Structure 1
Amino acid sequence: MENSHRRGAMRGYVYVLPALAVYVVFAVLPALHTAYLSLFDWDGVTLGSWVGLDNYREVFRNPVLLRSLVNALALVVFFSFVPILTGLLTTALLSRYRRPGMSVYRLLFMLPQIVPLVAVGVTWRWLYGDDGLVNEALRAVGLDGITRAWLGDFGTALIAVGLVGTWVLSGLCTMLFLSGVHKVDPSLYEAARLDGAGPVREFVSVTLPQLRGELAIALTVTMVAALASFDIVYVTTNGGPGEQTTVPGLLVYRLAFSDGDVGLASALGVVLSCLILGLVYVVNRLSRSET
């Protein structure tokens, strides 16, 4: 019996081995190589010199690099928390008051996921422009005084970029939650209604606890999207105005390919990766501890 279990386990490892080999070659080894490069002062061409942890000290001393980390954390609000709240609200409405044509709703929700992020950035850059749809709509209702170049204003640039992320990820969160609602036992809703629960109490007491797994997935995916954001920021503002929308992903690109400081870029990439892994670990632990 024990030998058969061993053979079964070994057979399982054999099936997993090809995927594991691909993961090691294309994920683990590049990550280790990046961590190795972060210990050098290297321009990507000439021979590098060993600097130890100096690049990491620079990450936490350089105000521009620190500002990029702060901006990335600020984007978590727009890329993660707001889409999750929007998705929960939409799910509460659609799951209780079902309407014909749900497939059309799902298509509209998933549309931002289908469109390439570069195209999304170009479209929103036009919408936010001086003659874009946002300003035209404000002028149409008599709010000319608050029109501006939203992506070029120091006070609104980061919020404007964040709202693009909100639009992109709200549909994904909604689809996750709608799929989770279908697995909820209908008898739980019936019991809640027999107890006199209204729509809000029904959602809080029945639906929300049953969506704990989907909430953990949504929070993980959206937080990673916020902290590792590059495409939308690069296309819409390229980090401007000033450093208002600079994020770590954009700085890693600039340091490595424009400034020729591969070591510092690698160190910033390692710090960003550790931040993402740490937050994902916390989310997973909290989701498991509440099950």
Structure 2
Amino acid sequence: MNGQTRLGGFLRTRRSQLRPADVGVRTYGERRRVPGLRREELALLAGVSASYYTRLEQGQSQRASPEVLDAIARALRLDESERLHLHDLAQADRDRPRTRRPTPERVTEATRQLLEVLEDVPAVVLGRRSDVLAWNRLGHALFAGHLDPDAPQSAGGRPNMARLVFLDHHTRGLYADWAGKARAVVGNLRLVAGQHPQDSALHALVGELGSKSTEFASMWADHRVKPCTVAAYEMRHPLVGTLTVIQQTLGHGVGPVVVVATTEKGSPSRAALTLLAQATAPSTTPPTTQGPLPARPARPGSRVLTD
């Protein structure tokens, strides 16, 4: 699927989701074949000709100016993230090379030090495709305690958070509002796909999830976009029970991001997180000495008792 096809799909879906009453378009009680706005109605609101807008939806025009795109964004009532996504889709086939080897994603030494500093806070380093590049001990325990803690160290075996949310039974059960978490994952993937249209590994992930999960396919077809910045989630952890965390993404743009989960001070959720840290802490019991203890040498002048 090329950029113009994605652009057309985005415009058609968002137009169909916008009701005439939402933008003050009078229908006079007429029966309509489509639930949302007609092309000519959207074109009128955006101040462009109906024929030009139609060509844009059908992928026959690749020269939409930033001003026209902004006008269409206003007509569609897009928020800032959606507006930028619209521009990304329009630029996909025009200004970017058609082939590009994905740049290997690595965790910098500075990020590793950050994970060490955040030892009391669950933290996970995610690549742009939601691959887990690293996590600290508590991040592993909270989000994926059923997986090998060393899994992120293998590029070929790294867990993928989007794949876990949709295809992993344990992860699905972690979220009381799984649908809300799933929509957030899809919305973020939509944004990334617009920013990296030539990333074949990303599109392969989307294809895999769409073929294995009807829920993902339905959410993806909705064309909703939303960055994963800050969100509250009620989690049901198998070790410590229910807790509410604020998941925050630290860092945006180029490079991996760090996702942390915080809890309110003095809350039951903070206590549950403390309990999880204690339950998953490495053992500090000293190793048992094997064999008999060595005999102490006799002090000068003392008598050694013998049988």
TM over 0.5: no
Higher helix share goes to which structure?
A: 1
Larger Rg: 2
Higher strand share goes to which structure?
A: 2
What TM-score do you get using the length of structure 2 for normalisation? 0.25
Relative contact order higher in (CA < 8 Å, ≥ 6 apart)? 1
What TM-score do you get using the length of structure 1 for normalisation? 0.26
